[in-house]
Chains A and B, each alone.
Chain A
Amino acid sequence: MKHITSVKHMMMGTMGVVVLSALSGCQSAPEEQAGSEESVTQNKFLVVEQQPNGKYIIIEEMPTTGPSRAIIKETDENGTVSERVMSEAEMKELADQEYKKMEEGKSELNAEPQGEGMGLAGTILAAAGGALLGNMIGNALMNNKNVQRHQDASNRSAYHRSSAGGSNSATSNSQKKSFFGNSASRSTSSSSSFGG
C-alpha cells in the first residue's frame, strides 16, 4: 500500500492533543488558542516522542486548565512503539531532578544544544518547568538563553513556534457593509444548515 497514508497523532496537530487529553481523562481539555504571552506557570499538556537516537522531542504542547500531563511515545530496541501517560507528579519529579542538575552545572540544559532532542527530564523541564516547579524557576528558565535554544531545537509544537505577530489594523474610512441579515438570524431555526 504505497499511496494511502494512515494517521498518527503526531500529524494530528493541536486537535490530536485536545482529543488525547480528553480521552486520557484530563479534567478539562487544553485551551485552544496558541500564543506567546502565557504565564510561565500555565499548566501544560505535552506529547513527547523518542527519536531513533534515543533523545526526546516535543511534538505537541498546549496550555491546559487541568493538571499538567504528558504522553510519552517511546520505541524499544525491537522497534515496538509504546505510549504512556505521565502524571503531573511524575513530571514534577523528573523536572525537579533535572533542575537540581542544572544548578550543579551538570545538565545538558547548561550548554548549547548539539542538534535536536534531549533527555526526557530536560525536555519536560524546558517545556513545563514553570508550571511544575513554580514561577521563580519558570522565569529563570525563560530567561536562560541555553534553555530557550534547547526549546527552539527540540520543540516542534505549533504552540511553541507561534509568535503573536503585530497585525495592521484597518485604517480605511470607507463604509463597510455586513450581510447575512436574514440567514444569520435564522440561527434558531433547525433548518439553517449549509454544509453537506
Chain B
Amino acid sequence: MISLQNITPIDDRTLEQFGFGWHTDSDQSKYIADELVVVSDREAEAYYEAVNKLYDMYAAAAQHVIDNNLFFDLGIPFNLIDVIKKSWENDVHWHLYGRFDLAGGIDGAPIKLIEFNADTPTSLFETAILQWALLKHNGMDEERQFNNIYEAISDNFRRLVTLFDDPAEFEKHYDGWKILFSSISGNLEEEQTVRLLQQMAIDAGFETGFEPLGGVKFDDEGIYDSAEEPYEYWFKLYPWEEIAIEEPELATQLTTIMQNQKAIILNPAYTLLFQSKGMMKILCDLFPDSPYLLKTSFEPLKGIQQVEKRMFGREGANVKIMDVSGNVTESNEGPYGNFKPIYQEYVEFPKDSNGHSYQAGVFFAYEACGLGFRRGGKILGNMSKFVGHLLC
C-alpha cells in the first residue's frame, strides 16, 4: 500500500511565477497532488540500483540490435538507420537524459520495467524542480528527497565536452560551442521543459539559444537559429520517429550534417532504439534472468494477463489490458495504431487506500538521479497526476 503525507499546495500564481503553467488539467482538476508518496531510503536505493542496471542492459541490447541488424524488429524507420549507427559509433553523441517508468518498488513489490522514455522525456520540471519546491513550501527537509536531477543533467551537459573525464574539467576544454534548444510552438509544457534544460546548460557554462522548431534552419553545413546563427549542438524535444515519418527530408539532411560532423543532435538518434518498446523483447532474450523485466514478445503471450502496446506509443495511448483468455478488460485509444504491437506481461502497480495506481518515474543522466510518481488508473494516461515524494 502506498503511504501518503498531506501537504499544503503551492498556489497557481506562484507556480506560474517560476515557470510551471500546466498546473490544471483540461477537466479543471489539479495536475499536482496535495500529497507526497512516503518512500524509505532502502526503496529509493533499490530504484537507483535498478535503473543503473537497466541502462547497462539497454546499452548492451542496442549493440546487439546494431550487430544483428534488428532495426526492422524494433519498428525503426529505414531512413534513420544510418544516423542511429553513426551516433552509436562516437561518444560525442552523448545521451543527455531519459526516464525509466517502473512498477513496484514499494512495500516489497519487485521493481519491474514498464518502459524507457529515452528520446523526449517530460515530467522533468515536476520531478526536478516542483517536488523540491513543495518540500521548501511546506518547511520540510529538502535533503529528504531522491532528487539531484538538476545537478546531474548540468554535469551531463559538461560531459558533452569532457566525455568520460571529470565534468569539473569542462571550463578547461570548453571553446564556446553553442547549444540550440527547440520545442514545438504553443505547447507550454514542452517549451518550459526545454527552457529548463536550457537553464541547466547555461548553469553548466554553455552558450545557448532557443528557437521554436519551425524557425530552425538547416543546410549541409549545419544547424542555425532564425537569425542564421550556427550552433554546434541542437536539442530538440521532438521524437526521432516523427522526424522520420513526418519530415523525411529533414531525416536525410540531419544524416548529412552528422556525416559532415557539423552538429551534434540531442538526444542522440540511438535513443530511438531505447525508446522502441520492442527493445524490451530483446532485453528478455539477452537477460532472461533479470528480476527487472516483464516477459515481452512480438506475438501475444499465451495463458497470462498481458498488455498490448505500440512500439512508439506515448502517455498510455493505444494500450490494451487483456485477461488470460485474451479478452480486452481495459483500453485506451490513440494515434499510434500504425506502429507494430508488443505484448508485455501484466503487473499491478502499487495502490493507495483509494485504489489509485502509482507508477515510479526515475530519471537517468549518466546515473539514476531522481524519482517522481504518476497516479491514475490501471493505464496511466495523460490525465494522470504527478505526485512528489518524501524519504522517511
Contacts from A to B (Cβ < 8 Å) = 1, 3-9, 11-16, 18-23, 28-29, 32, 34, 158, 161-162, 165, 167-170, 172, 174-188, 190-196
Contacts and interface: CB of A to CB of B under 8 A. Distances in A.
B176 A15 contact: no
Contacts of B200: 13, 15
B242 A183 contact: yes
Interface in B210-251: 212-221, 224, 228-230, 237-239, 242, 246-247, 249-250
B162 interface: no
Contact of B228 (A16, A34, A169): A169
Given A13-B199, A32-B199, A194-B242, A170 B230 contact: yes
A3 B51 CA distance: 12
Contacts of B249: 177, 179
Contact of B142 (A3, A6, A186): A6
Contacts of B143: 6-8
Q: Chain A binding site: helix, strand, loop or mixed by DSSP?
A: loop
B63 interface: no
Contact of B44 (A4, A28, A170): A4
Contacts of A175: 219
B148 interface: yes
B187 A187 contact: yes
B290 interface: no
B26 A174 contact: no
A85 to B, nearest CB: 12
Contacts of A4: 41, 44-45, 48, 146, 148, 368
8 contacts: A3-B45, A4-B146, A169-B228, A169-B229, A179-B247, A180-B247, A187-B187, A194-B120
A44 B298 CA distance: 58
B186 A180 contact: no
B218 A178 contact: yes
B205 A158 contact: yes
Contacts of B145: 6-7
B326 interface: no
B213 A196 contact: no
Contacts of B53: none
Given A170-B229, A175-B219, A187 B186 contact: yes
A176 B120 contact: no
Q: Which 3 A-B pairs have the closest CB atoms?
A: A187-B186, A184-B214, A195-B122
Q: Chain B binding site: helix, strand, loop or mixed by DSSP?
A: mixed
Interface string B43-59: 01100110000000000
A195 B247 contact: no
B202 interface: yes
Interface of B: 10, 14, 17-19, 26, 41, 44-45, 48-49, 117, 120-122, 128-129, 132-133, 136-137, 142-151, 154, 176, 178, 183-187, 189-190, 193, 195-196, 199-200, 202-203, 205, 207, 212-221, 224, 228-230, 237-239, 242, 246-247, 249-250, 253, 314-315, 335, 368-369, 382, 391
A184 B178 CA distance: 24
A179 B250 contact: yes
A15 B129 contact: yes
Of B120, B150, B229, B249, most A-chain CB atoms within 10 Å: B150
B154 A13 contact: yes
B249 to A, nearest CB: 7
A174 B315 CA distance: 40
A188 B142 CA distance: 38
Nearest to B370: A7
Given A7-B142, A162-B205, 11 more contacts: A6-B148, A7-B145, A15-B196, A162-B202, A167-B176, A183-B246, A184-B213, A190-B26, A194-B187, A195-B120, A195-B122
A8 B121 CA distance: 23
A172 B391 contact: no
A106 to B, nearest CB: 35
Contact of A177 (B18, B26, B218, B315): B218
Contacts of A178: 214-218
A190 B49 CA distance: 37
B239 A194 contact: yes
Contacts of A9: 132, 136, 142
Contacts of B247: 179-180, 183
B217 A195 contact: no
Of A1, A12, A16, A169, most B-chain CB atoms within 10 Å: A12
A19 B131 CA distance: 11
Contacts of A170: 224, 228-230
Given A18-B19, A185-B214, A23 B237 contact: no
A181 B49 contact: no
A167 B229 contact: yes
Contacts of B14: 22-23
Contacts of B214: 178-181, 184-185
A190 to B, nearest CB: 7
Of B202, B229, B239, most A-chain CB atoms within 10 Å: B202
